[in-house]
Amino acid sequence: MIEDTRIEKECSMAGQPWTKSDIEILAVEYFTVLEAEIAGVPVVKAEALRRAQQALPTDRTIHTLKDRCYRISEELWKRDLPWVEGWKPPQLVGQSPNSDNVATTIWSAVEPMAHGVRKRAGDVDEADSDLEEAIARGDDPLSTPGPEGGPDAEQVITVSPAGAGFGDPESNRLVEAAAVEKVTDYLEARGYVVTDVGSKKLGWDLTCVGDAGDIHRVEVKGVSGATPTVLLTANEYRSAQEDEGWELAVVTTALDSPCLTFYTAADATAAAAPMVYRLTLPGVQER
């Protein structure tokens, strides 16, 4: 189980201290709302709050959840990041700001998700962008030497908003969807509350909360064949190194007889080998 950092008592309207895990559960819904607002898609905030209320391991009132959302907004506002309209930072409405302890714990919980917001808002340096953001324009395939490394051993890598994989874009989408469905069904059958956060570019696809409040950040990879050879984007690799509870779920023969295997972050990073490098070069100069 992920070790919780408890926020001081002032952070709880109901008298029950909020843990870092509690904030992470609420933040998943907060950033779902924020992403919809950025995209101009209608969203019902009350539904997001109800989902968070159901996922939290202890009873929380809707009023308390709103207060936490205001305080998440404050940490984003202080860093010049987008925040949810209607959930205004307390400082902007004349209320007491977050204390240092509350601010530190909230930011530690939401920073990985805020990283995705920074990228959508164009505030992250290009060098830190995902592989797909660095070289993809839609579903652009590129050829690169395959695992054998020979001159004729070429494979097609497709880089898209969904991530990176071997093969053509349409086949990859089908395989990935089947893999996500397999992993979701597996975890929900074991009592986890599973939220698909793949579109947020956090570095994992599924946020999974157990009955005891334990959080697993699961990156899902689907393979059409039986050999578990997959690609991680730069952001997924970063998340494997930095984010607690990160796991890799690989579904082989995803479209036929799906076979699911979980790998730890350590296993995934130890097996990783670079295949593509991004270069930012100076402009053409006369000679």
pLDDT at 158 over 70: no
Give the pLDDT score at 150.
38
What share of the chain in percent tops pLDDT 70?
73
Round the average pLDDT of the chain to a whole number and report it. Answer: 77
- Which tens digits make up the pLDDT trace of 208-257? 998 888 899 999 999 988 888 888 888 899 999 998 999 999 999 999 88
Residue 28 buriedness (CB in 10 A; 0-12 / 13-18 / 19+): buried
Give the burial string for 262-276 (b: 16+ CB within 10 Å, else e): ebebeebeeeeeeee
Model confidence over 252-280: pLDDT tens digits? 999 988 999 999 999 999 998 877 677 77
Q: pLDDT band for position 19 (50/70/90)?
A: confident
Q: Which residue has the tokens 């002032």?
A: 10
Residue 95 pLDDT exceeds 50: yes
Output the pLDDT for position 204. Answer: 93
CA distances from 118 to 71, 83, 218, 244 (A): 18, 11, 22, 21
Q: What is the pLDDT of residue 65?
A: 93
Domains in the chain (CATH in brackets) are 9-120 (no CATH), 161-271 (3.40.1350)
